[in-house]
Structure 1
Amino acid sequence: MTEDTPQTLIDRLDDLLETERSALLAGDLETIASLLARKEALIDALNRMQPNDRGALEKLHEKVTRNQALLDGALQGIRRVAARMAAMRRIRRSLETYDQSGRRQVIEGEVVHKVEKRA
């Protein structure tokens, strides 16, 4: 097995970050998760070598920052969907109204879905 040079690690990490970006834009969460271990290993290897190519490292940093912003946006979207689904479940279980004096009232109830067969 050949030993990695700082430049080969930088190139491999650059390719991986582009793959991660594509997966983030496509919403491919499985691919994103599968890339994490490889990305961490490449970053650890680069940290051990302490490469001197400052320009290449700055470009990698920009890509990592860009991907982190995309990932944060994806996570925010997932949280919003989860909150919306929870609100929809809550709405199905009860109805919230206000009485004449403005006090909130909750009318409990569960929607029963059943099919009736007729001959």
Structure 2
Amino acid sequence: MTHDTEHQIIRRLDSLLEIERAALLKGDLQAIPKLVEEKEGLIDALNAMTDSVPSKLEALQAKVTRNQALLDGALQGIRNVAARMAAFRRMRRSMETYDEYGHKHTILGEVDHKVEKRA
């Protein structure tokens, strides 16, 4: 692999990491799988290089770490939303309360499966 090709791969990976960061910050999670696929290809190409440019690779590693933290945060946010929605679904079916003595009571919710037709 030529020295110019190595720099092209490094520049493309750097650009791709910035695009990935922007997508994560914007919440465009649909763009991530395609970017990850391309990123993996570029990283494989970098791993196959005989020469390495340590300072450039350190900068890329910092960006990869930064983007991973953003992705972890996005995934945690998705998990939190899913848990919150599950709690709302549980509340619709029943609600738990406590009396003045600290005993738990369950109040069953009514599920109305009627469909209302309007003219």
TM-score by length of 2: 0.87
> In structure 1, what is the equivalent of residue 15 of structure 2?
15
- Write the distance in 1 (CA, Å) between the matches of 2:39 and 2:18: 11
CA RMSD of aligned residues (A): 2.2
User: Runs of at least 4 residues of structure 1 off by over 6 A?
Assistant: none
State the 1:114 CA deviation: 4.1
Q: Cα gap change, 1:110/1:52 in structure 2, threshold over 3 Å: closer, same or farther?
A: same
- Write the distance in 2 (CA, Å) between the matches of 1:5 and 1:38: 16
SS of the residue corresponding to residue 52 of structure 2 reads coil
SS of the residue corresponding to residue 29 of structure 1 reads coil
Gaps of 5+ in 1: none
SS of the residue corresponding to residue 110 of structure 2 reads coil
- Write the distance in 2 (CA, Å) between the matches of 1:50 and 1:92: 61
Worse overlay, 85-94 or 106-115: 106-115
> In structure 2, what is the equivalent of residue 78 of structure 1?
78
- Write the distance in 2 (CA, Å) between the matches of 1:115 and 1:41: 52
> In structure 2, what is the equivalent of residue 30 of structure 1?
30
SS of the residue corresponding to residue 30 of structure 1 reads coil
2:102 maps to 1:102 = yes
1:21 partner amino acid:
R
2:91 maps to 1:91 = yes
- Write the distance in 1 (CA, Å) between the matches of 2:115 and 2:18: 51
SS of the residue corresponding to residue 105 of structure 1 reads strand
- Write the distance in 1 (CA, Å) between the matches of 2:56 and 2:106: 60
State the 1:103 CA deviation: 1.6
